Structure formats: structure tokens, C-alpha cells
Amino acid sequence: MPETSSLSNLAAIDAAHHLHPFADTKKLNAEGSRIIQRGEGVHIFDNHGRKYLDGFAGLWCVNIGYGRTEIADAVARQMNELPYYNTFFGTTTTPATLLAEKVCSHAGPNFNHIFFTNSGSEANDTWFRMARVYWSAIGLPSKKIVIARRNGYHGSTVAGASMGGMKYMHEQGDLPIAGIVHIGQPYWYAEGGELSPDEFGLAVARELEAKLDELGEENVAAFVAEPIQGAGGVIIPPATYWPEIARICKARNILLVSDEVICGFGRLGSWFGYQHFGVEPDLAPIAKGLSSGYLPIGGVLVSDRIADVLINDVGEFNHGFTYSGHPVCAAAALENLRIIEGERLVERVRDDIGPYFAQAWGALADHALVGEAVSVGLMGALQLAADKATRRRFEKPDAVGSAVRNHALANGLVLRATSDRMLASPPLVISHEEVDTMVRITRQALDLVWSEMKL
């Protein structure tokens, strides 16, 4: 190895050459990147040999946990047989085709086709074009606008970041692009005021109706939302929200797009988040858990309504990626889905570890710093609050959230903080005992922040 790559100064090399995603580089370089070297089950190990319980499954994606040699073997086999071939000019590869079939087999009767991408962002940019192409093909070319939500996340590409509702992303690069508008989010704790959660769920869903009145539904292509907002803070909508959204989309003839990039592949105890909430979307971008993050792959589930038009009326859809359906990534995804099926991980989340997690994590609600402790399946959040009774939040919400996260990390647990919400999304293979450890370290971190506040 050349001297510049010697492992002892890896942090310095990183600071010198590597621009990280969503990072303040100057600040990061001053602290130095943590170097993660190995993973096993729900644990990761850094270059100092320190062990962490990964309560976040990488970035919401390592559903089957780390170190699964079945995937490494499947990938090595495919690499040796055929490392790459495209799916453009009348060709396919065995893993791409078999993966298409397998994903559809879990997606419900409405979904029988998939378009492959390399990421969740590309999946969102893909359906954004596909939805407009669909409406044009059936003679309604004015239906172009996409309605999305504030504090939603749909990726970092131009359409993805525009449909996302992150202000700090819009501020950079003149987003959103034209034709994308936003309505409110079902975040009752912060924005529900005096309404009950159910009343609030209906009220925010009806913002969609009001927006359609304003824009004219003849100009609107689709509404997009995550079943549960992930990056926005694990915002679990009130029970009234999704049925009302689905009703409005149907009544007003706009497409419903469910961004399944996090909620897909077992996270909520269902194969897809729309199944958990009992709605039938027209399009569903996927990624992350599709391969448990072992290799990059994503896609868009395309319902029969749209696939029929694409196939019979559009002819050529002029869109695709060099690596759409990449055979090695598809082989990794296929093996990942075999593991999820074989170990019945979706059922395990629904019937066993999800309910166990709900109880253990939910018990944190008794802590003085915690306003609510909520979860669905293995996706959970703690809302930190200055006053439980009035849902008043801290004056410096970001500081409180990062303090809890840093204490957890120092004690061997990776949690994420989105402002004053602590997010959990562990691998689906986590044991009861490991859930207990997660909750114990989280409580300890809360205690430490609580005692610091009293100083």
C-alpha cells in the first residue's frame, strides 16, 4: 500500500480529500471522522476496536444485520459469472429478472412491475417523470404538479430534494423546481395545538383537498408522502390521516405515491408501509432495505393502472440508468429477500420484536425529558420536551437532541437526533436482550443530560 494510505493517519487523509454528505466539512475535520471497520449482527466496530450497538441500522437500511456471508457469497458468485450487463437494448440478466418477480410477489395484487434505479433519490426522480408521462399518454397533459409535504424527505437529486420539504435543502441551489408544492405534515406533537390527534390527522389531510381546490386538480399529477416520515423525525401520523389522504387522491383523480424507501421491507412489520396503513398507492419508490444496504439498488413499483399505459400507449419511456438492474446488486438484493423470507423477519417484526420494542421503548415516556415515546414495528422516536403537560419544547432543541445522542454514542449506542427527536431504527434481527440494552443506554443518556441541565 502506498504510504499516503497508511491506516494510522486515515482520519487526516479523510479530512484532506473527502467531502462527506450532509456535513459541515470544517467542523467535521476539526473533530475527525469516526472510522467504522467491521460489522457483525447489530454491532459495528470502529478502528480503535470500540463496539457499538447500531440502533439505526446504518442509515435505516441494514435490515438483516451485518456480516451475512450468504450475501457476500451470492455477490462473489455473480461477480465471477457476470459482473455487469445492461438492461437497455432488449437484454436482461438472471438476477435482475428474478428480483423483479420477487419484489412484486410481496407488493400486493396491484403491483406487478418494477423499474430499477440505484438509489431512493433516483427512484423519486424516476416516478416524477413517469407520472407526467402517464397523464400525457392518457390525454391529460396539464396534470403536472406534484404535491408533497413540509419536512418530508425524498432524496438529494433535483426532483427528490424539491419534493422533500427540507427548508435547509431548498435554500441551496434554488429549490424547489417549478411544479412542486408543499402542504403540512401530520406532526401532532409539534403542530397539533388544541386538536386531538385524530382531529389533527383529518385537518392536515384536508390541506391536500384545499391545495387541489386552489391549483385545480386538472393541473395536479400526484401527491407523494412517506408512510411514516423518516428523516423528518419518525413522524407517525394519527390513525385518521392515511385513509383520508387515500380518499382524497381517489376522489380527485390524482396519483398517490408512497415513498417506501425506509418503510419497505419489514421495518413496520409489513412488507411495505402502505400495507400497514391499508392504502393502495399507484407508485412506490423503494431502496434501502431492498438490499439491506449491502449494495446500492432501488426502484419504483408501478401499479397496473400505470404499467398498462406505459406498455400499451407510451411506447418508449426515455429514461434509465446505466446500472438499472445491475446484476451484482440484484443478486445481493435477491439473497437479502431470501433471508427476510426464510427467517420470517417481517412476521417477526409484526408479532414478536416489534411489540417487544414498543413496550421497552415506550417505557421511556416516563422520563422527565421525554414528551412521547412512540414506535411502529422497529421504527421509533422519542420526543424531548421541556414540559410534558403542555408539549412545550426546549429553547435549543438541537442542542438537547445532540447531547442525548452524544452520551448514547459514548456509551456504545448509535442513535440519531433530528433536532429534539431521538430516532431508532435497529436491524430487524435485533434480539430482545439487545433491545433492552438499547433502551438502557438511551435512558442513561437521558439521565446524563437531565443532570447536566440541573447544574
Question: Closest CB to ligand PLP among 100 and 295?
Answer: 295
Instruction: Please tell me the distance from the alpha carbon of residue 383 to that of residue 401, in angstroms, as a whole number.
Output: 9
The minimum distance between CB 261 and ligand PLP, in angstroms, equals: 3
User: If DSSP codes are grouped into helix, strand and coil, which group holds residue 121?
Assistant: helix
Looking only at the bridges linking them, the beta strands covering 51-54 and 43-46 are antiparallel
The minimum distance between CB 120 and ligand PLP, in angstroms, equals: 2
What residue number has its CB nearest to ligand PLP? 120
Residue found under cell 444496504: 293
Which alpha helices (H) appear in 142-186, and where do they start and end? 158-163, 167-170
CB 353 within 8 A of CB 428: yes
Which parts of 404-445 are beta strand (E)?
A: 413-414, 416-418, 421-424
The minimum distance between CB 83 and ligand PLP, in angstroms, equals: 22
- Could you tell me which of 377, 355, 356, 367 has the C-alpha nearest to residue 424? 377
Question: Closest CB to ligand PLP among 39 and 232?
Answer: 232
Q: Three-state SS across 319-370?
A: CCCCCCCCHHHHHHHHHHHHHHHHCCHHHHHHHHHHHHHHHHHHHHHHCCCE
Enter the C-alpha cell of residue 420. Answer: 429534539
Q: Residue numbers of the site for ligand PLP (CB under 6 A)?
A: 119-121, 124, 153-155, 226, 230-231, 259, 261-262, 287, 298
Question: Closest CB to ligand PLP among 125 and 420?
Answer: 125
Question: Closest CB to ligand PLP among 292 and 385?
Answer: 292
Question: Closest CB to ligand PLP among 113 and 416?
Answer: 416
The minimum distance between CB 379 and ligand PLP, in angstroms, equals: 11
The minimum distance between CB 367 and ligand PLP, in angstroms, equals: 27
Enter the C-alpha cell of residue 272. Answer: 411495505
The minimum distance between CB 117 and ligand PLP, in angstroms, equals: 9
Which alpha helices (H) appear in 56-119, and where do they start and end? 57-60, 69-81, 94-105
Which parts of 184-251 are beta strand (E)?
A: 220-225
Instruction: Please tell me the distance from the alpha carbon of residue 271 to that of residue 105, in angstroms, as a whole number.
Output: 10
Question: Closest CB to ligand PLP among 259 and 335?
Answer: 259
Q: Three-state SS across 15-50?
A: HHHCCCCCCCHHHHHHHCCCCEEEEEECEEEECCCC
Question: Closest CB to ligand PLP among 121 and 240?
Answer: 121
Question: Closest CB to ligand PLP among 360 and 379?
Answer: 379
**Rounded to 5 degrees, what are φ and ψ at 53?**
-80, 120
The minimum distance between CB 128 and ligand PLP, in angstroms, equals: 12
The minimum distance between CB 152 and ligand PLP, in angstroms, equals: 8
The minimum distance between CB 127 and ligand PLP, in angstroms, equals: 11
Q: Which residues contact 368 (CB under 8 A, 6 or more apart)?
A: 450
Question: Closest CB to ligand PLP among 267 and 393?
Answer: 267
Enter the C-alpha cell of residue 218. Answer: 386538472
The minimum distance between CB 259 and ligand PLP, in angstroms, equals: 4
Q: Which residues contact 339 (CB under 8 A, 6 or more apart)?
A: 64, 68, 70, 71, 345
